[in-house]
A and B are shown apart, each in its own frame.
Chain A
Amino acid sequence: MSKPSHESHESHQSPDTHGHGAAVVDHTHHPHVCAWQTFVGIYAALLFLTFVTVGVAEPVSGLHLGSMSMVVAMLVAALKASLVMTVFMHLKWDTAINNIAFLGSLIFLSLLFLFTLVDHSTRGEADPQAGTPAPYARQAKFVDD
């Protein structure tokens, strides 16, 4: 299997098979074959980043990053995820629309996060009496005020 691949990284832009008049259409599908060394490299990077994740985590290292710890953990995870997406999932060599389809979902998901979390962090600011009942710590704060 370790055929060092001269085929690797030839970027086959898949021909757009529609919409542009009756041009000559390529009937076959040409796979984009990635070099195995690339995959091994990404795999090693993922393992290293897992090590980083564990290493900087408060419960393991005792580092006190405070509110930054969540940000750091998510940044490292996002980095790992982007490696998997671009190389293992071939998005780097894939069509624009496949990229948009997948990454677009993240944009819309961020809207769900944005409004629900902003709602929670600003709830009861204008009128503490009208805020949501009990269990929330924030409400307690307003009662103290």
Chain B
Amino acid sequence: MTTHTPAIETAPSATRKEPSYLDVTKGFWSWAGTLDHKRIGIMYLVGVTAAFLCGGLLALLIRLHLWTPEGMLFENGVYNQVFTLHGVFMVFLFIIPAIPASIGNFVLPLMLGAPDVALPRLNLASFYLWLVGSILTVYSIITGAVDTGWTFYTPYSIETQTSVLSMGLAIFVLGFSSIFTGLNFIVTIHKMRARGQGWFKMPLFCWAIYATSVLQVLATPVLGVTVLLLAFEHIYNIGIFDPAYGGDPILFQHFFWFYSHPAVYIMILPAMGVISEVVSVHSRKPLFGYKLIAFSSISIAVISFLVWGHHMYTSGQSEFVMMAFSFLTMLVAIPTAIKVFSWVATIWGGSVALSAPMLYAISFIIIFTIGGLTGVFLGALSVDIHLHDTYFVVAHFHAVMMGSTALAFFAGIHHWWPKMFGVMYDERLAKISAVLILIGFNVTFLPQFKMGSLGMPRRYATYVEQFQIYHQVSTVGAMILGVGFALMLGYLLHSLVAGRRARANEWGGVTLDWHTPTPPNLYNFDDEPVMAGKLYDYTELDISPTGEATFKAHKSTATVGSKA
């Protein structure tokens, strides 16, 4: 096992031909009106991080509240609002846009050798839609918050006097932001690939983003119409979801989960893409089973449309469809397991660098395996009847959303940080925070699996005394997580002002994104790249004794001169 020799202050690698995208223009409006995918990606990064901090703060408050059986902080109604807002912030404002819209926006065109996404104006528009959606979310909080849970189940969401209407509108707008991002990426992948880059010469992150985008385009409109109909219930009582008017509340759940189950894969697929890249680069080995991983992304996307009913086993839907949904749910395990095996096989025998991104990636693999396996429990109809709406479910989806997607997001941030900003953070602190987060996560959520299986229901403001020890351990874990994240925020921000200059190819990546100057030019590449060689061909790198990676005279990637 070798490690990259770290942190000798290196001279600026080569004199740049053009200024970087960060230097090319300055001032507020050069960012607010930018069409550059990289700047839009950075703006998203700032936005989703802010959302993550808000959501995380709410999570800490929830955990603090649950320190004692009768609840320490809130009245019961306020507690309902707090966990609802935690869910809405984390799901709609953070996780769904986090990887595609920030890292994806930044990295995807680079990986395709393109100067920008196909539709840059739409890209900026979707950022502003996200912003409007966020403002509407905050507006709903000020005007009475929402106490329905992030799922907005009818008929309670029709009866409640809280701001369901404006929150619904916020989600409608956020949905269209997500749709436009996905649409843009599909077009970009189809139409903007470098010369010589066939579909199977795309890095796996692009495949993951592609599968995600298909889901965003096809599933999100159904969420749109669902919240629209919910808004109509509030405006003129359309009655479609209201049994008092002849409607069927279970139809709401069908509509909601037709979107929100694929949305689970909107969250996890890009994370898997990030992990594929990080694992390959930091093991300095081509990915094991490239095509299998690519196709498993697509098959996860397709299967995700067939399994939404497993969220509704206790809703009163027909037993026949429940059995069908339970069977179909088991199918998801196949492509998912293929991915995990492929990552492990990639690491096996690789030249593994235990760098910060790799630590996050390994944490991802561990926690994702826990989340995936417990998902099989919950997909099994009979078991789920017992576990439904308990902390077991809470722990399961936090393992997938927080322990996997959020960790992959941070793996990606640490991996591409030097490419994004041209600076490096303190790797020692980064490793400490990665370990803290891995420990904190498990301390928080393993007790929740246990108390869930013992029958502790989710979303309760109070609980019986026998669960107190689990809740307290869980709260301690959440505090460890909080410390880990605060530390991360600290050293990342510090690196922006005082970090060492990043090397031209910090980790020794070979995909096209690492062929750009660091940080990239406004239109990314000095010369238009052509992919002539293999993908993930690490033999094209020369590694100096100091760990500096340089390309051997462009063996796999030729360029054509600029056309001017």
Contact = CB atoms under 8 A, between A and B. Distances in A.
A90 interface: no
Contacts of B545: none
Nearest to B528: A22
A19 B197 contact: yes
A119 B315 CA distance: 12
29 contacts: A19-B195, A19-B197, A19-B198, A22-B196, A22-B560, A97-B190, A101-B186, A105-B218, A108-B218, A111-B258, A111-B306, A112-B222, A112-B258, A119-B321, A120-B248, A122-B318, A122-B320, A122-B321, A123-B317, A123-B318, A124-B318, A125-B320, A126-B319, A126-B320, A130-B316, A131-B316, A132-B316, A134-B243, A136-B248
B254 A116 contact: yes
A51 interface: no
Interface in B417-436: none
A116 B195 contact: no
Contacts of A119: 250, 254, 309, 317-318, 320-321
A41 interface: no
A141 interface: no
Interface centre among B222, B254, B320, B321, by most A CB within 10 Å? B321
B58 to A, nearest CB: 33
A104 B298 CA distance: 14
A111 B305 CA distance: 7
A21 interface: yes
A19 B199 contact: yes
Contacts of A124: 318
Contacts of B305: 108, 111
A19 B560 CA distance: 15
Query: Which size class do B's interface residues fall under?
Result: 35 or more
Interface centre among A105, A112, A133, by most B CB within 10 Å? A112
Contacts of B308: 115
Contacts of A26: none
B77 interface: no
Given A116-B254, A119-B254, A18 B193 contact: yes
Contacts of A104: 218
Given A18-B197, A108-B305, A111-B305, 7 more contacts: A17-B191, A19-B198, A19-B199, A112-B255, A118-B321, A119-B317, A123-B316
Interface in B308-337: 308-309, 316-321, 324-325
Instruction: Report whether over half of chain B's contact residues are helix, strand or loop; otherwise say mixed.
Output: helix
Interface of B: 186, 190-199, 218-219, 222, 243, 246, 248, 250-251, 254-255, 258, 305-306, 308-309, 316-321, 324-325, 530, 560
A115 B198 CA distance: 37
A116 B530 CA distance: 48
Given A116-B251, A116-B254, A19 B193 contact: yes
A116 B196 CA distance: 45
Interface of A: 17-22, 97, 101, 104-105, 108, 111-112, 115-116, 118-127, 130-136
Contacts of B199: 19
A115 B321 CA distance: 7
B266 to A, nearest CB: 14
Contacts of A112: 222, 254-255, 258
A125 B197 CA distance: 54
Contacts of A122: 318-321
Contact of B318 (A19, A97, A101, A118): A118
A21 B530 CA distance: 8
Given A97-B190, A125-B319, A132-B316, A115 B254 contact: yes
A116 B240 CA distance: 14
A118 B318 CA distance: 8
B225 to A, nearest CB: 10
The 8 A-B pairs of least Cβ separation, nearest first, read A126-B319, A122-B318, A123-B318, A122-B320, A119-B321, A116-B254, A18-B193, A119-B318
A116 B560 CA distance: 54
B318 A125 contact: yes
A115 B325 CA distance: 9
B307 to A, nearest CB: 10
Nearest to A133: B243
Given A17-B191, A19-B196, A111-B305, A118 B320 contact: yes
A112 B259 CA distance: 10
B357 to A, nearest CB: 30
B251 to A, nearest CB: 7
Given A18-B191, A19-B196, A135 B320 contact: no
A63 B320 CA distance: 35
A122 to B, nearest CB: 4
Contacts of B194: 18
A17 to B, nearest CB: 7
Contacts of B254: 112, 115-116, 119
Contacts of A22: 195-196, 530, 560
Contacts of A125: 318-320
Contacts of B255: 112
A122 B193 CA distance: 48
Contacts of B196: 19-22
A108 B258 CA distance: 10
A124 B320 CA distance: 9
A21 B251 CA distance: 50
